[in-house]
Amino acid sequence: MTDTHTMNFGADVSRLLEIVTHALYSNRDVFVRELVSNSADACDRLRYEAIANPELLKDHTGFDIRLSVNPSERIVTIRDTGIGMSKDEMVENLGTIAKSGTRALMEQLKQSGAGNSPNLIGQFGVGFYSAFMASDNVTVISRKAGSNETWAWQSDGISGFTIREASEQEQATLNTPCGTVISLHIKDDASEFLLEEKLKRIIVTYSNHISLPIYVGTTEEEPVNTASALWMRPKSEITEDQYQEFFAMVSGSMGLDQPAVTAHWHAEGKIEYTSLLFVPTLRPFDLYDPSRRHSVRLYVRRIFITDECEGLMYPWMRFVRGVIDSEDLPLNISREMLQQNAIVSKIRSSVTKKLLGDLDKLSRDDKTAFTAFWHQFGAVVKEGLYDAVEHREDILKICRFHTTQSETEMTSLADYLERMKDGQDEIYYISGENVDAMRNSPQIEGLKKRGLEVLILKDTIDDFWLPIVMDYQGKKFVSATKGQIDLSKFPLPNSEKPDQKNKNETAEQGARDRTSLVSYLAGRLSDRVSKVRISDRLTDSPVCLVAGESDVDLHMGRVLKIHQQYESNAKPVLEINPDHALIKSLDKMADQDNQSEMLADAAELLYDQALIIQGEPLKDPSGFARRMSLFLGKGLAA
């Protein structure tokens, strides 16, 4: 037997080990994942080398990974039949943590002043050292493929390591022509890792899709990992049932739901990844919970990394389920690092574009399915309109809105544009809570009568994206309940043209501006409205309220107030319909005696009526009821 060489890690490295084992991974289970994935890598490398040099596989017993436990000695071993390591490689790979990067990393840590910043540590390959999270002594016995020397590397993870030739007994534990056995002496506070069940559970969680068998226990014949990496197989070889089964697994829906969209593809080029993603049919109960976990699972080269990668999917894609498997990301990347990783955000962009494209396709191929999707998830998708400028056009493409054009069908913006009137270059909308109430809203009477289509927006989110998005294909979004809309270009249908209707009322024509009533109302209501004006909007109703040109839409103001983002002091504009009989007679009344109590009551009633239509609460409901009864009484008596 040769000498044992003892080597020190050096001060920097032992400090680093401390940081790594305490700060890098919040979850100790991952050391199993790290060691198993190293074993899988070693098998992959031998498989590759053997292509050029088949001799390497002489007497090879087949690729596998086996974990076993010796509880009385507190030992967990992980054995693989991979490529193994020579003495030099062990010193190099296991003895020099993050080989080239150690010094640079320590420098950065010092400079940043963040002693334990996991963000920095995550950039360096330190996978093997995660073993020291649960273990106070690690022995690595390894024989390189094609060699007959077996070496033993040993360390407590603090002071340094020793390297020597392996004993007969140690060589026997290897029991394979080439490969590696890692024996971990489990720390007192980590006894759970001495349970086979625990190890099995970790493997099923993190390494289920590794493509070689993993066994737990010395005599176990059945591998623990049953599933293969379905997403890596060509689409043509995957049955509908297999997709369904996989969806059930990744969505946790246990077969109660079906995917509305299955998007399975491989991206190559600047970034390379494979993804198998699903849009569910049913809305998860916690869709609107802001703390909701992201549930697309991130793999790196078939190794499960996390299902909580925040940057991987946009929050407004939080209903998507499935797997993304990157070829480019480093395995040892920490969660914190993932969030700002450039590859991750490129994947997100690419995946989002693809999914929006698939949804657009669905809207053309299967309208019923798409409509069902939109009812479930449309409000969430619209969050993307202010959250992700680069995808805005694609999102607008799949948006569907209620419209005055149809009572039953929703419309796309493309179809709206298609139906626009000659000379119309704006998209009109009204927003509120109740679609039916908005449909009958006085504010859009004038538009409807002129055959101008109005989109009816009912989701809270609409009030947040509209101020930011401005237009669709150059056509501005214009609120029908705000400012003055110029409708002079669009005459009312012939019979109702105001100038024709009033043909024989020349005196009346000049009086259409209802000066007496306008100035009376402006004075009487000056504490509540900023202005009173004659309206183009109204055809059937006497009055309505609208927001001033530069103010926030009335409904939007209310929403913003609820969400405590904004409190508007702006007073609305009261618009009156000059052709309405009630307005005409009140104008006459204001002309004759603007001190009359009846006129004052009428002004209050008009204003309250506008509020009610708007869905706003009345300041003085009993006052309203009293005046109403008074007027009704007079009407009955007359």
Interface with ligand ADP by CB under 6 A: which residues?
34, 38-39, 42, 80, 82-85, 93-94, 125-128, 180, 331-332
Please state the closest distance from residue 99 (CB atom) to ligand ADP, in A: 9
Distance of CA 396 to the CA centre of its chain: 17
Alpha-carbon gap, residue 362 to 369, rounded angstroms: 7
Partner from ligand ADP, Mg ion, none contacting 93, C-beta within 5 to 8 A by type: ligand ADP
Judged by beta carbon, residue 38 or residue 155, the one nearer ligand ADP is: 38
CA distances from 276 to 117, 251, 325 (A): 33, 12, 9
Please state the closest distance from residue 37 (CB atom) to ligand ADP, in A: 7
Residue nearest to ligand ADP (CB): 127
Site for Mg ion in 551-590 (CB under 5 A): none
Judged by beta carbon, residue 85 or residue 109, the one nearer ligand ADP is: 85
Judged by beta carbon, residue 329 or residue 455, the one nearer ligand ADP is: 329
Residue nearest to Mg ion (CB): 127
Please state the closest distance from residue 241 (CB atom) to ligand ADP, in A: 36
Partner from Mg ion, ligand ADP, none contacting 44, C-beta within 5 to 8 A by type: none
Please state the closest distance from residue 149 (CB atom) to Mg ion, in A: 23
Residue 127 near Mg ion by CB under 5 A = yes
Alpha-carbon gap, residue 157 to 166, rounded angstroms: 19
Distance of CA 494 to the CA centre of its chain: 51
Q: Which own/partner pairs from 516-525 qualify as long-range (CB within 8 Å, at least 24 positions apart)? A: 516/587, 516/590, 516/591, 516/594, 517/576, 517/583, 517/586, 517/587, 517/590, 518/576, 520/590, 520/594, 520/599, 520/603, 521/574, 521/576, 521/603, 521/606, 524/600, 524/603, 524/604, 525/574, 525/603, 525/607
Judged by beta carbon, residue 126 or residue 359, the one nearer ligand ADP is: 126
Q: How many CB atoms lie within 10 A of CB 142?
A: 29
Partner from Mg ion, ligand ADP, none contacting 83, C-beta within 5 to 8 A by type: ligand ADP
Q: How far apart are the first and last CA of the chain?
A: 123
- Pair 307, 298: CB distance under 8 Å: yes
Partner from ligand ADP, Mg ion, none contacting 469, C-beta within 5 to 8 A by type: none
Q: How many CB atoms lie within 10 A of CB 126?
A: 24
Judged by beta carbon, residue 82 or residue 446, the one nearer ligand ADP is: 82
Partner from ligand ADP, Mg ion, none contacting 525, C-beta within 5 to 8 A by type: none
- Pair 458, 477: CB distance under 8 Å: no
User: Binding mask 13-42 vs Mg ion (x if CB under 5 A, - otherwise)?
Assistant: -------------------------x----
Residue 82 near Mg ion by CB under 5 A = no
Alpha-carbon gap, residue 628 to 292, rounded angstroms: 50
Phi-psi region of 284 (alpha: psi -120 to 50; beta: other; left: phi over 0): beta
Judged by beta carbon, residue 151 or residue 477, the one nearer ligand ADP is: 151
Partner from ligand ADP, Mg ion, none contacting 614, C-beta within 5 to 8 A by type: none
Binding stretches for Mg ion (CB under 5 A): 38, 127
